[in-house]
Amino acid sequence: MKIYSFALGKVKNPQEAEEIAQNTFYKAMLSRKSFEGRSGEYTWLCSIAKNLCNDYFRAEARKADFPAEEIGSKDRVDVIQKETSFEIHRILHEMREPYKEVFELRVFGELSFSEIARIFHKTESWARVTYHRARLKIKERMDENDAE
């Protein structure tokens, strides 16, 4: 259920999130021997799901070759939200660890700060500070991109 919630938080589409969750477990089963245990199993599954979500966004971007005048107002809002979501994921992709993983675990994995702290063997305060710094970094990058 957590992997489904993680995927749903990223793609905002229940059917796609379900498909991504199923594919995540399928890929995990196929590659379980390559799991080295350097992270928790949930973190490993989230990274597989994240890659599948990125694949979904790339496929959706390829499908988005349509003229703007054909888009209705509701669709226009959906396109803007997808573009914003894609921009956040692009920024996250380039973000350094541990900010990237902490943000993804908190937002997409819906983990508490205490759970994140346990994953990293740190304090809950560390998890909170790291998450808030990641949010600030994302906001700064989005502001920079808007200014360009």
Q: What is the pLDDT of residues 13-25, one digit of tens each?
A: 888 888 888 888 8
pLDDT value of position 92: 82
d(CA 53, CA 63): 15
pLDDT value of position 130: 92
Q: Are 9 and 110 in contact (CB under 8 A)?
A: yes
Q: What is the pLDDT of residues 35-50, one digit of tens each?
A: 777 777 888 788 888 8
**Is 1-65 a CATH 1.10.1740.10 domain?**
yes
Q: Name the residue ranges covered by the structural domains of the chain.
A: 1-65, 71-148
What secondary structure does DSSP assign to 55-72, as a single string?
A: HHHHHHHHH----GGG--
Q: What is the pLDDT of residues 89-146, one digit of tens each?
A: 788 888 888 888 888 888 878 888 888 899 889 999 999 999 999 888 888 888 877 7
Instruction: End-to-end CA distance of the chain: give it in Å, rounded.
Output: 40
CATH fold for the domain made of 71-148 = Arc Repressor Mutant, subunit A (1.10.10)
Please name which of 2, 3, 6, 1 lies closest in space to residue 103, comparing C-alpha atoms.
Answer: 6
